[in-house]
Structure 1
Amino acid sequence: MKKTETMTAFLGKDTEFEGKLTFHGTIRIDGHFKGEISADGSLIIGEGAMIEANMHISYILISGEIHGNIIADDRIEIHPAGKVFGDIQAPTVVIDEGSIFEGNCRMHRAKEADESKLAVIELDGYTADTAPALGTIHGIVTGHPLQSPEPIHDILTARENKNTAEPIKGTKVSAKCKGFAEKNTRTDDSGYYELTDLEDGRWKLKVEAKGYEAVKATVEISGGGVYEQDFEYP
């Protein structure tokens, strides 16, 4: 489980922006952005987002589509629904099975992070106040194919089926925390889920996939931020 900085802005699904985007903190884009991105912080590209931009950032998580070159000082993650058409460069690069990447990849040594910067977002000269410190939990739910009722005679095929985890779509993911309303969502076709607007506290997650036993995890949110919690069924 990883935590990034406090979420400072959110560009929704039906929004369109063109220009230069500069920010500190964490921003999520689900809409269409065209231009240039420069950030000392974390960028989350949601599924369905379209980005046409070269960018230099600290950390990026990609579930949408990007056309442009990416330089990250910390980490680049391309999730199963993600598509990147351009060159990427970072100390750590994670490309999940099912994602699309067309370009060159270069890895370099990480720089020291400056954790003292304030969370501020600037878009074409406009500076916005930071949003309330609410948390987000996201991740991927995967599982190994259920055993076939018919005998498998091909030993190699059986071994591959056992060792290959696949995204599980339509899985119910719920989160409970004492004193707050329960949050619920379902995974998309890539097995990705996201729970947003979570207050500080110990959130108990429960994942219920058809044909599998329920699995649980606990994520403690402190000061808002973005947390990653993946689930893999045996």
Structure 2
Amino acid sequence: MVFHFKKSTPNKDQMMITFLGKDTKFEGKLKFHGNLRIDGHFKGEIESDGNLIIGEDGMLEANVHTAYISIRGEVYGNIHADQRVDIRAPGKVFGNVMSPTVVIDEGVIFEGQTRMYHAKDAAEKKPVVIGVNEYTGGPPPNLTAIYGFVLDQQTGKPVRNAEIICKGQDKKETQANSSGYYEIINVKDGLWIMKIKARGYKTVKTKVEVIAGGTYKQVFNLEPRKKIPEENLVPAE
């Protein structure tokens, strides 16, 4: 069975469509445009050029190809997002993720690999939903690089001086600047293990597979341990 959903009057202020409510189950192939939220159980396949939200009660047993996806529930399957993937606590993902930008919160369960690729049309397509602010600059386009921000999970403020260690065919290290921004250039294709450490925060580890060159963005949200050293946080202006 194939389901098709489309907004009748596109409007950025329009409320989100709820496709599956809590305790509801559907199975089949789903295609939709616009914004869609799943709080029930869906099994099958999802294809869309819009934004998909998986609520805390939502469960997805499907391979997904969409523009943007935010996950707080459970997903069993591979995810391909043309713009960005947000995995928010207490989300659980069991499958591989492919997207030019991946945001993984501390406290989530993620069993799989992250494949990041250069999005040629990223400047033309912007997700409607609100997430971590995207950096407008980045490393030179002629270099293969992983770049992004290190942020405080609770306040959203940049975490400066965070250590970023990247291990693959060789080892590369850098530190986040006063804006929480970092970049690692001249990264070879292949699987890289990234570790992010900062005083007062829990250490984060993730796997990233770089393919076909280009520049790739990775944003890290660090969970505070207790009191954060003031020199690590950038004061509000």
TM-score in terms of structure 1 length: 0.49
Higher fraction of strand = 1
Which structure would you say has the larger RCO, counting Cα contacts within 8 Å and 6 or more residues apart? 1
TM-score in terms of structure 2 length: 0.48
